[in-house]
Structure 1
Amino acid sequence: MEKQRTILIADDRPEIRTLVRITLTSDGFNVAECKNAQEAVSLAKTLAPHLIIMDIDMPGKYNGITATSMLTADPQTANIPIIMLTALKGAAKECLDSGASAYLTKPFSPIDLLKNVQQFARNK
């Protein structure tokens, strides 16, 4: 039996986390949530998720792009794919340059999100 894959969602808006969680759990993923970039970096190290969904604009010391750069530079988390999910239009280059695997804008299609997650969620 295949081990359930864990996805970490980092977004400060609870309604976005809920929508993403419902979308992913309906497809058999296990979901962990956090509300800022610092928590995302910490949880990524302890949970070792199969994939991270990261917002850009969150409260705290640093944003999702900085967190993505930190995660992709750290050997412990460098192989975890990150999908940036943001309301910021025109940030694709910056997101991909920071190490993100994909970039989706809000509002997003749950079907598009699921396709991206299935494409990038690594098997352990």
Structure 2
Amino acid sequence: MAAPGGSTATVLVADDDPLVRTVLRMALTGMGCAVIDARTTSEVIHLDPAVSVDLVILDLNMPGGTAVESLDALSARVSAPRVLLLSDEDAPALLDRVDGFARKPIELADFTRIVRSLLPDGSGGSSDRAG
């Protein structure tokens, strides 16, 4: 997937489950995305500000902090990425802070469709959050 200007879209996969990270990485790289990983909330919070991220796939429950702390850090970035929250439980209190929500386990076709709608490649609109 290309970001504006023809560059590759970068996706941060933030999940403490190595199998989930691997499967999502494979799906995203198959879509042409560059992928970086975070295993803990702390890794999300301390992500190098020089690293530009277009989309974050965020697990609701990770060690090292809360999803709210991750969302606060992501929204404070110079260019706030869009966020797809993944969880095996509902998170109604956070839905107004994210761009999409999907329940685990997610079918690959559904995941791909949601990601395409959130990436800034022309089919998903811009990376600016509406609202």
TM interval, short-chain normalised: 0.7 to 0.9
Q: Aligned-pair distance for 1:75? A: 5.1
**TM-score normalised over the length of structure 2:** 0.80
For 1:116, which of 93, 99, 114 is the aligned residue? 114
Please list the CA deviations of residues 7-66 of structure 1 after superposition, one character each: whole Å capped at 9, or x if unmatched: 000000000000100111111111000101121122263312110000011111x12233
Equivalent residue, structure 1, for 2:124: none
The answer to whether the Cα contact below 8 Å between 1:95 and 1:103 also exists between their aligned partners in 2 is no
CA RMSD, 1 decimal = 1.9
Aligned to 1:39: 43
Structure 2's unaligned 5+ residue stretches are 122-126
Q: TM-score, normalised by structure 1?
A: 0.84
Instruction: Could you list the structure 1 runs, at least 4 aligned residues long, displaced by more than 4 angstroms after superposition.
Output: none
Counterpart CA distance in 2 for 1:27 and 1:50 is 14
Structure holding more helix per residue: 1
Please give the secondary structure, in 2, of the residue aligned with 1:57.
Answer: coil
Distance (whole Å) between structure 1 residues aligned to residue 55 and residue 77 of structure 2: 15
Find the counterpart in structure 1 of residue 78 from structure 2. Answer: 76
2:18 aligned to which of 1, 14, 23: 14
Q: What fraction of aligned residue pairs are identical, expressed as a percent?
A: 26
